[in-house]
Amino acid sequence: MSNLYETDYHQWLSNQVALLRNHHFDQLDLENLLEDLELGIESKVDNLEHFLTNLILHLLKCDYQTSVLRNTVATKRVINGWLNSIDNARDGINKLLRKNHSLEQRVEDALVESYPDGKKGAIREMNRHIPTECPKLDNSSFPDTCPWSYEKLMEKDWYPLNGVEL
């Protein structure tokens, strides 16, 4: 059975479902089945972290642009693009949590895990657009920990525009 797991995953999974449905527990490929279930759980957490990383990245860029670099780098069109990315990340998180309620208990840990990657991405992406007369961003350009609570991150129609009108 484990050979089928390696050669035709879909067929292997279909076989496991049929065995479970027919109560043939002694024929299950338990080792691979348990591994597959554990990987499925972790992939949902990975998805949550991915959405949070993108959300944080775009919020940090928006915040930095509208508070520090005001009118020197990004146009309203670029900021509006970031807002779309923020909305898409929020939508992805909401959909994931709607389908996987138990992930809600992992949100705070996922936020802690995601922030450094979001921060790193924001630094990298902003540095591509900062004019030569402006100092480049580095690790000290943003806080060490996420400056917003999860509730604030997910607040519909909230963006760190710092008074900039779009």
% of the chain at pLDDT higher than 70: 95
CA–CA separation, 81 vs 143, rounded Å? 24
In a domain, 83, yes or no: yes
Distances (CA, A) of 6 to 27, 35, 126: 17, 13, 43
Confidence of residue 71 (pLDDT cuts 50, 70, 90): low
Chain segment 96-126, per-residue pLDDT in tens: 999 999 899 999 999 999 999 999 999 999 8
More confident site: 2 or 144: 144
In a domain, 68, yes or no: yes
Chain segment 20-44, per-residue pLDDT in tens: 899 999 999 999 888 888 777 788 9
In a domain, 125, yes or no: yes
The torsion of the CA quartet 113, 114, 115, 120, rounded to 10 degrees, works out to 110
More confident site: 166 or 65: 65
In a domain, 32, yes or no: no
In a domain, 130, yes or no: yes
pLDDT for the residue numbered 145: 97
Other CB atoms closer than 10 Å to residue 11's CB: what's the count?
11
pLDDT for the residue numbered 66: 83
pLDDT for the residue numbered 42: 81
In a domain, 34, yes or no: no
The pLDDT mean for the chain works out to 89
Burial class (CB in 10 A: 0-12, 13-18, 19+), 149: exposed
In a domain, 1, yes or no: no
Confidence of residue 2 (pLDDT cuts 50, 70, 90): low
In a domain, 24, yes or no: no
Residue 55 is part of which domain span? 41-153
Q: How many structural domains is the chain composed of?
A: 1
Minimal CA–CA distance to 115: which of 92, 137, 83, 144? Answer: 144
